[in-house]
Amino acid sequence: MTGLRMNGLRMDGDATRRLAELVATHSANVMGFADHLEVPADPERLDVWVRRVGGGVIAGPRQPRGRIELHVIPHSGTEAPPGLLAGRWRDADLGTLAELIARNSDLGTARIASKLIQAIPCALLGGRSVHVAYFAISRLFLDANRLLATDQVPLRPYSGSASDYHDFLRRHGDALRESLLPWLDEVNALIRDLRPPVVYHHHTYDVVGQAARPWDADAFGLRPLAQVFWQRPSLNGVRPAAAAAVDERGFAPRAVLEAMAEIIAGALAGRTRQRPSVRLDHPLMTPPMPYLGCILDSGGTESRGHPWHVIYELRKDLLNHPLAVDAWLAVIDTIVSAVDRLRQRHDPSISNQLLY
């Protein structure tokens, strides 16, 4: 799996290779570098396992110890689904498809995933068992961050037109979901079996919104530099009983996520003339997500026994150079350390959930 790019396990075919080249070119035009997943050439030698699961890649230490930590990167993939490129494609059409894939990707987060995987051995020495779940197929074809089947195979992209592949999705969408479900099952198995106290979700968004969506309060407006998500969505609109703690509504206690927002604001202060405002749930709310603990029910029972989820969006232009991504990884380390301290203060029994 040397230099894992685009396909994880490469599919054969000139069209697939050409599409990979074009996507890399488009992402480099937007970000200043080709954003793709790379893993160690010989992960076994580093005591790290990396395996392809359905349409995604999951990695972790072979002998986890210390604090279990899971990072989810669901919107960074740039692969086309098997079968889409089986027919004849003109280079111009491949170019259009590659541009769409790059425009709809959370650019910058593939490098975040790569660096997190490469740092698993070092993190282990520091008492952190880091696991990374990366979905490799483009969100044009499969949205790994959605709970509802109708949203997992999106017939309209967030940005651009689906004209070149709409018929393929309409005919094969149900079968295509079979590439997504094993990855989601594996991610939820990690949450259920390893019991990480916190799951970290990494996303980037465009400088300006590209489409109207029900959970977007400023669909075509200028995006803030970053935002954090607090309130979990509910499928049936119910909320916990009035006597229930307000924190039951959130992915994590509101005070914890407000502290995280302050950390992000402080880290970004050097990029602006004044300290930026990093708000909770604005301009975006979260749609229903498929991970354990991410849906709110009337009694809060769905969240009990599941981890906190820490979810943020960062504007893509803040990660427009490899060194900028590397600097952001240092911010992630600060966030992880701060959230861990707050978690233990919030629930002292958490020390009993660590795996040694």
* Domain ranges across the chain: 14-353
What's the confidence (pLDDT) of residue 354? 34
CB 311 within 8 A of CB 251: yes
Express as a percent the part of the chain with pLDDT over 90: 71
* pLDDT higher than threshold 70 for residue 30: yes
Res. 179 pLDDT band, cuts 50 70 90: confident
Tokens encoding 165: 């592949």
Q: How far apart (Å, rounded) are the C-alpha atoms in residues 116 and 57? A: 13
Res. 83 pLDDT band, cuts 50 70 90: confident
Mean pLDDT across 79-83? 89
Q: How far apart (Å, rounded) are the C-alpha atoms in residues 197 and 69? A: 7
What's the confidence (pLDDT) of residue 238? 62
Q: Which CATH architecture has domain 14-353?
A: 3-Layer(aba) Sandwich (3.40)
> Token match 């202060």: residue?
269
* pLDDT higher than threshold 50 for residue 243: no
244 or 194, higher pLDDT: 194
pLDDT digits (tens, 9 = 90+) for 287-316: 999 999 999 875 544 555 689 999 999 999
Least confident of 9-23, 77-91, 103-117, 332-346: 9-23
CB 169 within 8 A of CB 162: yes
Mean pLDDT across 130-147? 96
Mean pLDDT across 108-120? 97
Mean pLDDT, the chain, rounded, equals 87
Which three-class secondary structure string do you get for the chain? CCCCCCCCCCCCCHHHHHHHHHHHHHHHHHHCCCCCCCCCCCHHHHCEEEEEECCEEEEEECCCCEEEEEEEECCCCCECCCCCCCCCCCHHHHHHHHHHHHHCCCCCHHHHHHHHHHCHHHHHHCCEEEEEEEECECCCCCCCCCCCHHHHCCCCCCCCCCCCCHHHHHHHHHHHHHHCHHHHHHHHHHHHHHCCCEEEEEEEECCECCCCCCCECCCCCECCCEEECCECCCCCCCCCCCCCCHHHHECCCHHHHHHHHHHHHHHHHHHCCCCCCCEECCCECCCCCCCCCCCCCCCCHHHCCCCEEEEEEEEHHHHCCHHHHHHHHHHHHHHHHHHHHHHHHHCHHHHHHCEC
Among residues 143, 150, 151, which one has the least CA distance to residue 180?
143
What's the confidence (pLDDT) of residue 68? 95
331 or 270, higher pLDDT: 331
310 or 215, higher pLDDT: 310
pTM: 0.91
